[in-house]
Amino acid sequence: MSHKEKTVLVTGCSSGMGKATALYLAVQGYRVYAASRTPHKLAQYASENFIPLKLDMTDPQSVINTLEPIEKIDVLVNNAGYGLVSTVEEATEEEMYQQFNVNVFGLLRVSKAVIPKMRRQKSGVIINISSFLGKIGLPLLTFYNASKYAVEGITDSLRYELHDFNIRVHSVMPGFFNTDFAKKNLKTNEKTFADDSPYADLVTTLAPVIVDQINHGNDTQEMAEIICRIIEEDTFLARCTAGDKAKKFIPMKQELSDEDFERRVRSYYKL
C-alpha cells in the first residue's frame, strides 16, 4: 500500500510533537487527520493530505461522533496528553482524575474506536506516545509518571490482544523536547507552588530545572521522523526512546539497581 492510500489519525495536534508529526506525515504523502480540541489553530495547514479534526478525548460521545464516520484508519498515533505538577499530598480529586482522563482513559477511548476498523482491515499500526517518565519516577510529576506507566502497560497488553489481527502496537518514550509543553501542557497545583507548602524547597530545586530542560530539549522533527519509521518498518522495535534524556536515563535504569539508580537521579537533580 502506498503512502497516499494510508490514513493516519494523530491526536493532540494543536502544537508540539503532534503538530510536527502530522505535518511531516502529510508531506510524506499520508492522508492525515490532525485531531485537536482547537482545530481552528490548524486551519492554515489544511489540504488534501492534512485534515484538521475536532476531537475531545475526555468526551466519549465526541470520540464516537468524530471517528465513526471515518471509514478507514491505518495508523493511530496516540499523542495527546499533559502533565500535572503536584505532590501526592496536595493534589485534588479533580486534578488526579483529569490527569488519567486525558493521558490514559482518553487514549483508551480513541483506541477502542479505532481498533474495530483495523481489525476488519486485518492490518494497522498503533503508536502510543509515552515518556521516559513511563519507566522512571520523579517527584512532583507522580501523577504524570503514573499515567505514562499505565500507557506502557496498555501498550504491552494490546500487543498480545491485537497480534492475530496483524495490528502492530508500539510505544515511543521521548525525553524532554523543545515544545510548548512547559507553557501550555504543564498544569500546576496551587498548594504545591505556594510559599508555605511543606514541599517548597523541593519545588524551588526541581521545577525550574525541569522547565529549562523542556525549553532546551530536542527538536520535534526527531519525533516525527521516528514515528514515520515505525509506520514504514514492519520489524521496528516494540518500544523505543527519543531525545537525549530518554537515551541517557532509560539504559541507566536498566543497568543499575533501583537503589543505585535513585542515587544517580538524586545527584543529577540535586534532590
Active site residue ranges = 14, 130, 144, 148
| CA distance linking residue 107 with residue 58, whole number of Å | 9
Nearest to 21 by CA among 244, 226, 178: 226
Helix (H) or strand (E) run with residue 263 in it: helix 258-269
Cα–chain center distance at 8: 16
* Angle at alpha carbon of residue 232, lines to 217 and 27, rounded to 5°: 65
| CA distance linking residue 172 with residue 164, whole number of Å | 22
- Those residues whose C-beta lies under 8 Å from the C-beta of residue 235, and which sit 6 or more positions away, are none
The neighbour count for residue 257, using CB atoms within 10 Å, is 8
Bridge partner residues of 172 (DSSP):
129, 240
